[in-house]
Amino acid sequence: MKIHDVLIVGAGLAGMRAALAVPPDLDVAIISKVHPVRSHSVAAQGGINAALGAADSWEAHAFDTAKGGVYLGDQDAIEVMCREAPDDILELERLGVIFSRTEQGLIAQRPFGGAGFPRTCYAADRTGHALLHVLYEQLLRRQVSVYEEWYVTSLVTDEGECRGVVAWDLLHGGLHVIGAKAVILATGGSGRIFYTSTNAVINTGDGMALAYRAGVPLMDMEFVQFHPTTLKSTGILITEGARGEGGYLLNTLGERFMQRYAPDQMELATRSTVSLAIGQEILEGRGVDGCVLLDLRHLGRQRILERLPQIRQLSLEFAGIDPIESPIPVQPGAHYQMGGVQANGWGETALPGLFAAGECACVSVHGANRLGGNSLLETIVFGRRAGVRASEYVRGKAPRTPSDRTYQADRDRIARLHASQGSQRAWQLRDELGRVMSTNLGIFRTKESMALALEQVRRLREQARHVRLHDHGQVFNTDLIQALELQSLVDIAETIVAGGMAREESRGAHYRADFPKRDDTTWLTHTLTTSTPEGPRLSYRPVTITRFPPK
């Protein structure tokens, strides 16, 4: 059995950046359920934040981040991220990322929601693509070994430390144990819990579920960001950069309705504010066929072609609309999980030997609402830091062979799925879960809606263990993978509902129609969720406040 020094689960930006931070004399490997450059990071559009401008400062960036997250973010972690951002961006540039430029040849920065300064660096509207491909080139250069198209089914923990993973080899079939002195989770988000989502179909919250099942607490799971502008009926993201470039939001009366909700920031208020405003317009009958309109026409052909080429292409291909000539119908959709595996600023989790970074982790910098451009930044800053700390952790540590208890349990779990006589298929339950969650835990939530969701999610969780497989082969069995992903989706959905029901206030992305006010006296606190045989157990942890007292 292979035992690596550092094994990274996930080949998105966080995973790749972590791998590059491991010194060359250590043995590092990455494992990914898809080819590395198909990770969801590749789809990021609008950009990555750093206070590069002469008039900007990391402190201003930190303030916007703390305030945008409605003071639920840990300010020590926010300070680290914002202070280290400029150097990380310059490092990315040296590695070969081609950022868009100003006329003076500097890295161009566009305004984004909730930011007091234009500080989002970008490569047109394909920033994630530019970043991920450059980091992949560096991985190849470093000859980091990659288990490509391997699906991790469990973490192996022995004697209170993480010693590796159990994983299914998709290409050849077969379950294996891969040992490691340290494991870094960099498995990305869980947006596919919801029906309307900007996320790739692979974003099923596996890493959060792996940690959760291993007894590691998740934090702030009730905070799911709904992006205000996703393309009608598809959920495809229309970047905030479109509003950053000057796009307007209009209702059926042709009004720029943001005037009523955020007269100063207008379309560039924080995402939770804009999503709620759109939801309200639609609810009160001023929508257009379940959507509102994003109007870019006044930007002119040249600017759209230069700065938003992908948005135009997506609108043409998936809605038959050319934004140069017509407004784009948009609606809010699930976009980002602010919560995740509880980790500190070095990626350390409650389980020795287990680290987490990127969207699957909750460090927590985003608090109750993430600012656009801060997530790509988080993957780079905290991916690097997790790589550094994991390397320190394994230095001088003797390799230990993981036990095969977990392997046997997973082998039995897969055998049970193959033997199941259940009537339902994984995709059917996945669709149902998405509808339940989008309807009951979307931008508006109430006690009743969440209680309904909890009942349904618990039922789906039971059913997910007995779905019927039609493919019983070994090679590239996506039927089996979907069934396993479904188990992650339902486990994580349950933590979102549990956290949401308990939190009787509104803050950022968590809007309770029955508790519309923010309540700092009781709820300025992190939710921790731990797995027990009876279901999720909640506990609370204070928020770290350093220089920005809640206002």
Ligand X SMILES: Cc1cc2nc3c(=O)[nH]c(=O)nc-3n(C[C@H](O)[C@H](O)[C@H](O)COP(=O)(O)OP(=O)(O)OC[C@H]3O[C@@H](n4cnc5c(N)ncnc54)[C@H](O)[C@@H]3O)c2cc1C
Q: What residues have CB less than 8 Å from 428, skipping those under 6 apart?
A: none
Interactions with ligand X, residue window 422-441 (CB under 6 A): none
Contacting residue, 8, 20, 28, 44, with ligand X by CB under 6 A? 44
Amino acid at 6: V
CA dist., res. 211 & res. 185, Å (int): 9
Q: How far is the CB of 413 from ligand X (least distance, A)?
A: 14
CA dist., res. 265 & res. 114, Å (int): 8
Residue 502 token pair: 């308990």
Candidate ranges 44-52, 169-177, 319-327, 443-451; the one touching ligand X (CB under 6 A): 44-52
Count of Cβ atoms closer than 10 Å to residue 537 Cβ: 12
Candidate ranges 27-35, 213-221, 344-352, 456-464; the one touching ligand X (CB under 6 A): 27-35
Contact call for residue 39 and ligand X (CB under 6 A): yes
Contacting residue, 8, 11, 308, 450, with ligand X by CB under 6 A? 11
CA dist., res. 39 & res. 77, Å (int): 25
Q: How far is the CB of 39 from ligand X (least distance, A)?
A: 4
Q: For residues 201 and 283, which CB has a smaller minimum distance to ligand X in the complex?
A: 201
DSSP string covering 166-194: EEEETTT--EEEEEEEEEEE-----GGGS
**Which of 430, 432, 420, 433 lies closest to 467 in space, CA to CA?**
420
Contacting residue, 6, 7, 8, 13, with ligand X by CB under 6 A? 13
> C-alpha angle with apex 75: 70 to 78, nearest 5 degrees?
95
What are the residue numbers of the active site?
A: 271
CA distances from 413 to 137, 144, 265, 456, 464 (A): 37, 31, 51, 23, 12
Q: How far is the CB of 143 from ligand X (least distance, A)?
A: 19
Q: For residues 214 and 250, which CB has a smaller minimum distance to ligand X in the complex?
A: 214
Contacting residue, 10, 86, 244, 323, with ligand X by CB under 6 A? 10
Q: What residues have CB less than 8 Å from 438, skipping those under 6 apart?
A: 194, 195, 196, 334
Name the β-bridge partners of 199.
none
CA dist., res. 81 & res. 75, Å (int): 10
Q: Which residue has the tokens 């070095």?
A: 346
Contact call for residue 206 and ligand X (CB under 6 A): yes
| Interface pattern 447-486 for ligand X (x via CB under 6 A) | ----------------------------------------
Contact call for residue 308 and ligand X (CB under 6 A): no
Q: How far is the CB of 340 from ligand X (least distance, A)?
A: 9
| Interface pattern 234-273 for ligand X (x via CB under 6 A) | ---x------------------------------------
Q: For residues 13 and 293, which CB has a smaller minimum distance to ligand X in the complex?
A: 13
How many CA atoms, within 13 angstroms, populate the side-chain half-sphere of residue 5?
21
Residue 143 token pair: 């000859």
Contact call for residue 86 and ligand X (CB under 6 A): no
For residue 483, how far is the Cα from the chain centroid?
21
Q: For residues 218 and 250, which CB has a smaller minimum distance to ligand X in the complex?
A: 218
Q: Coil, strand or helix: which one is 139?
A: helix
Contact call for residue 115 and ligand X (CB under 6 A): no
Q: How far is the CB of 205 from ligand X (least distance, A)?
A: 8
Q: For residues 219 and 450, which CB has a smaller minimum distance to ligand X in the complex?
A: 219
Interactions with ligand X, residue window 346-385 (CB under 6 A): 358-360, 372-376, 379
Instruction: Could you list the residues known to form a binding site for substrate, using ranges.
Output: 227, 239, 335, 370
Q: How far is the CB of 224 from ligand X (least distance, A)?
A: 13
Q: For residues 381 and 543, which CB has a smaller minimum distance to ligand X in the complex?
A: 381
Candidate ranges 40-48, 59-67, 80-88, 388-396; the one touching ligand X (CB under 6 A): 40-48
Contact call for residue 342 and ligand X (CB under 6 A): no
Size of the site for ligand X (CB under 6 A): 45
DSSP string covering 407-458: HHHHHHHHHHHHH---S--HHHHHHHHHHHHHHHSSSSB-HHHHHHHHHHHH
Contact call for residue 228 and ligand X (CB under 6 A): no
Contact call for residue 336 and ligand X (CB under 6 A): yes
For residue 480, how far is the Cα from the chain centroid?
24
At residue 331, what are phi and psi to the nearest 5 degrees? -145, 155
Q: How far is the CB of 407 from ligand X (least distance, A)?
A: 15
Q: Coil, strand or helix: which one is 74?
A: coil
Q: For residues 358 and 442, which CB has a smaller minimum distance to ligand X in the complex?
A: 358
Which spans of this chain sit near ligand X (rule: CB under 6 A)? 9-15, 31-34, 39-41, 43-48, 127-128, 151-152, 186-189, 198-199, 202-203, 206-207, 237, 336, 358-360, 372-376, 379
